[in-house]
């Protein structure tokens, strides 16, 4: 089952973030004028002052648990008053009131002299963690000190340094803002307890030694007790559980090119134990494609792996799996209809706060009957019954071009945030 890729982007994107859909929405196209998306409609999030179109590129970064606040990064200079640094900044949009605020600010409220292109928002919407190479966030920071991770308290207006010494990136934050996990020096994952002022190394070997290779892409559960990450390290698990070679290619298929092995792991902060999360139904720890995720309660891990049959040069595609960490079981996010095979990619998955629904995007047209729109669609799976529903393109009835791996949803799974063509959108999803 083949899909035609007609999407375009202003810049090259990795395969996992390929923009797939119709032509980008033109400035001034008719979207609802209200700030908050209503039943099954779409609103633009990165609007400028007086509703103007942004004058530069924006990307979605996430939502608060209740779906009220959307965080995004942007090069635009016309979203708030006084934005003159011509750099990436972090913004929060109140979808209820339509108010946009810049949150990548110094502790004294001044704009920064460095770029801030990574960010995450706490579940309660109060705190925003961001990575910046700015030297003027706080007094006394050394110039040319690399990237650091900070947290902005939107209620008090204060910004604090969170990361340990070194170059920090990829922040992720717990629901109450207490815990912040991040990468340090492009190698290790650390987690900082902001209430206690302590920092802990997450990526330690099974014998307590430092991980013997790099780790990346941290994600954190709502309560901060479970931290997921991808890693090339070979000493995170006991020897009898260490990663093994990928399964052989089926007879007649082209062998895949060698890839760095980057399995997905989860760390339990209560016990200090690390376990493999990208475990396939056969029990093998697999190399995980970027855009791994955890459910808010930390029970489920979603990960993507390369599998045979596809349209890339190796004849493969990317498949999404769901791992139940509590019961140690793994299921494919969506099985193909009988008599068909999937050849197009699935994208980043999100599980709702109640653990009931899995939302994800896929280019496959053989997951449900009647899928003939030749587009990357948004799907919803009932984890109790296994039933899969096709919601359709993220942009609904609009012609918005979207980046499937940018998709994030609020806790109840009622509002989706995504980007495409350099703009950010929110959609109120139809009821399940």
Closest CA to 243 of 217, 271, 278: 278
pLDDT at 4: 35
pLDDT (tens digit per residue) in 387-401? 999 998 888 777 788
Q: Where are the domains of the chain?
A: 277-431
170-219: pLDDT as tens digits? 999 999 999 999 999 999 999 999 999 999 999 999 999 999 999 999 99
User: Model confidence over 94-142: pLDDT tens digits?
Assistant: 999 999 999 999 999 999 999 998 999 999 999 999 999 999 999 988 8
Long-range contacts of the stretch 156-161 (C-beta < 8 A, 24+): 157/109, 158/107, 159/105, 159/106, 159/107, 160/107, 160/194, 161/137
What is the predicted pLDDT for the residue at 326?
96
Whole-number pLDDT of residue 243: 59
Average pLDDT value for the chain:
88
Could you tell me the pTM of the whole model? 0.88
Non-local (6+) Cβ contacts of 276 within 8 A are 237, 241, 243, 263, 264, 265, 285
Asked if pLDDT for residue 23 goes beyond 90, the answer is no
Which of 18-27, 308-317, 408-417 is predicted least confidently?
Answer: 18-27
Distance CA 6, CA 25 (A): 14
Fold of 277-431: Methylamine Dehydrogenase; Chain H (2.130.10)
Tens of pLDDT, residue by residue over 41-66, are 899 999 999 999 999 999 999 999 99
Strand blocks (E) in 269-386: 273-276, 289-294, 300-308, 316-324, 329-332, 350-351, 357-362, 377-382
Share of the chain above pLDDT 70, in %: 86
């Amino acid at each position: 089952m083949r899909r035609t890729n007609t999407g375009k982007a202003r810049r090259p994107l990795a395969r996992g973030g390929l923009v797939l859909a119709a032509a980008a929405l033109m400035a001034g196209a008719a979207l609802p004028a209200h700030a908050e998306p209503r039943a099954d409609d779409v609103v633009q999030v990165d609007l400028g002052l007086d509703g103007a179109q942004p004058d530069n590129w924006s990307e979605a970064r996430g939502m608060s648990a209740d779906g009220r606040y959307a965080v995004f990064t942007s090069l635009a200079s016309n979203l708030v008053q006084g934005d003159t640094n011509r750099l990436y900044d972090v913004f929060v949009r109140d979808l209820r009131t339509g108010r946009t605020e810049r949150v990548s600010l110094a502790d004294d409220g001044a704009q920064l002299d460095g770029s801030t292109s990574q960010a995450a928002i706490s579940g309660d919407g109060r705190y925003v963690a961001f990575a910046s190479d700015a030297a003027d966030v706080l007094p006394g920071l050394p110039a040319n000190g690399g990237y650091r991770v900070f947290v902005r308290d939107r209620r008090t207006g204060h910004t604090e340094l969170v990361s340990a010494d070194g170059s920090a990136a990829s922040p992720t934050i717990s629901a109450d803002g207490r815990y912040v996990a991040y990468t340090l020096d492009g190698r290790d994952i650390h987690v900082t307890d902001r209430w206690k002022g302590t920092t802990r190394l997450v990526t330690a070997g099974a014998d307590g030694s430092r991980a013997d290779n790099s780790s990346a892409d941290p994600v954190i559960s709502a309560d901060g007790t479970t931290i997921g990450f991808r890693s090339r390290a070979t000493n995170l698990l006991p020897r009898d559980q260490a990663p093994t070679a990928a399964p052989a290619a089926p007879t007649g298929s082209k062998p895949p090119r060698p890839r760095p092995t980057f399995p997905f792991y989860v760390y339990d902060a209560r016990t200090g134990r690390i376990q493999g999360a990208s475990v396939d139904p056969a029990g093998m720890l697999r190399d995980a494609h970027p855009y791994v995720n955890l459910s808010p309660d930390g029970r489920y891990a979603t990960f993507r792996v390369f599998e045979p049959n596809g349209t890339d040069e190796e004849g493969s595609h990317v498949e999404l799996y769901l791992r139940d960490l509590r019961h140690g079981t793994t299921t494919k996010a969506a099985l193909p209809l009988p008599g068909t095979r999937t050849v197009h990619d699935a994208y980043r998955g999100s599980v709702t706060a109640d653990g009931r629904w899995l939302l994800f995007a896929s280019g496959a047209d053989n997951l449900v009957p009647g899928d003939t729109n030749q587009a990357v669609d948004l799907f919803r799976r009932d984890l109790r019954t296994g039933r899969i529903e096709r919601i359709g393109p993220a942009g609904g009835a609009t012609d918005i071009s979207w980046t499937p791996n940018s998709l994030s949803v609020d806790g109840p799974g009622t509002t989706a945030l995504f980007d495409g063509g350099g703009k950010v959108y929110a959609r109120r999803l139809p009821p399940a």
